């Protein structure tokens, strides 16, 4: 049986840190489903379809092991639907941990068999966020 994980996020836009986490996850799992999360209350720079295309292009060399989907449901519901057993989350810094910890406990209540694993990006990417990339781009 193949090991499948989901890697959810807004990916608005995808960064080198996201790519690094995805490639690290592929060392642990046979297949990785990158889940473009759509949150109606969150204003994004790119549409969900544009983000999907950007992720596919950024990980073209892994296209046989990666699938990119758009998700408007709870992550745990979509993960179960897609046959995943794990959720992959990236941690850049200690400040990410509290939010991720709360989300993991909530997900565990909703789906006790779905495990979350945390991966850290390479040091070179640990301070890069989509928010910073957007701000730099907008300001030129």
Catalytic residues: 18, 42, 92, 130
C-alpha span between 38 and 122 (Å, rounded): 27
C-alpha span between 102 and 83 (Å, rounded): 23
Edge to edge, the sheet with strand 31-37 lists: 66-71, 31-37, 4-9, 86-90, 115-119
């Amino acid at each position: 049986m193949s090991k499948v994980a989901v890697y959810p996020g807004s990916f608005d836009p995808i960064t080198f840190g996201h790519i690094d986490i995805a490639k690290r996850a592929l060392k642990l799992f046979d297949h990785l489903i990158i889940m473009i999360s759509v949150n109606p209350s969150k204003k994004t720079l790119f549409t969900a379809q544009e983000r999907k295309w950007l992720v596919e292009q950024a990980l073209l060399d892994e296209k046989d092991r990666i699938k990119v989907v758009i998700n408007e449901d709870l992550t745990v519901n979509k993960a179960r639907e897609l046959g995943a057993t794990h959720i992959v989350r990236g941690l850049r810094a200690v400040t990410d941990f509290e939010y991720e910890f709360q989300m993991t406990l909530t997900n565990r209540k909703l789906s006790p068999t779905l495990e979350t694993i945390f991966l850290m990006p390479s040091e070179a990417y640990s301070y890069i966020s989509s928010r910073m990339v957007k701000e730099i781009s907008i300001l030129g």
